[in-house]
């Protein structure tokens, strides 16, 4: 009986030692995977952030260029309008109200078309 009990104790110690080693290996592997995952996440996050910032820089510079051209064209149109308006205003040509307003689109007409 003593040999059986001693064998059982040895077997328990071996299993306990194996379980302890397996548990340490398991925990170390989880820790390593967690660290590698975190480093990979930081790397991908940094790369994607830089890509998006570059896309935004490109978009903003294109948008500024486009809007600037639009405002320059509007400014040119205003100068042309000013010259024509002053030329007509200072001339002896008589224009009726109906003729005058036929050159302009009323706001309610624009709103209806939208």
- Its domain, for residue 20, covers 2-113
Q: Are 66 and 60 in contact (CB under 8 A)?
A: no
Per cent of the chain over pLDDT 90 is 50
Tell me what pLDDT residue 50 has: 97
CA distance 22 to 55: 49
- Span 67-107, pLDDT tens digits: 999 999 999 989 998 888 888 788 888 878 887 777 666 65
Among 4-8, 13-17, 39-43, 49-53, the minimum mean pLDDT is found in 4-8
Tell me what pLDDT residue 100 has: 73
The whole-number average pLDDT for the span 103-114 is 58
Rg of the chain taking only CA atoms, in angstroms: 41
- Span 48-62, pLDDT tens digits: 999 999 999 999 999
Q: How many domains does the chain have?
A: 1
Q: Are 88 and 95 in contact (CB under 8 A)?
A: yes
Per-residue HEC secondary structure of the chain comes to: CHHHHHHHHHHHHHHHHHHHHHHHHHHHHHHHHHHHHHHHHHHHHHHHHHHHHHHHHHHHHHHHHHHHHHHHHHHHHHHHHHHHHHHHHHCCCCCCHHHHHCCCCCHHHHHHHC
Prediction pTM value:
0.51
The whole-number average pLDDT for the span 25-30 is 96
Place of tokens 């009323």: 106
Average pLDDT over the chain reads 84
Tell me what pLDDT residue 79 has: 92
């Amino acid at each position: 009986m003593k040999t059986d009990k001693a064998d059982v104790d040895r077997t328990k110690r071996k299993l306990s030692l194996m379980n302890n080693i397996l548990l340490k290996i398991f925990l170390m592997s989880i820790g390593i995977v967690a660290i590698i995952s975190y480093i990979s996440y930081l790397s991908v996050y940094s790369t994607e952030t830089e890509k998006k910032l570059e896309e935004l820089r490109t978009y903003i510079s294109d948008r500024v260029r486009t809007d600037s051209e639009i405002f320059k064209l509007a400014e040119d149109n205003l100068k042309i309008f000013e010259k024509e308006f002053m030329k007509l205003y200072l001339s002896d040509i008589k224009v009726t109200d109906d003729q005058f307003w036929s050159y302009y689109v009323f706001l309610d007409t624009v709103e209806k078309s939208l």
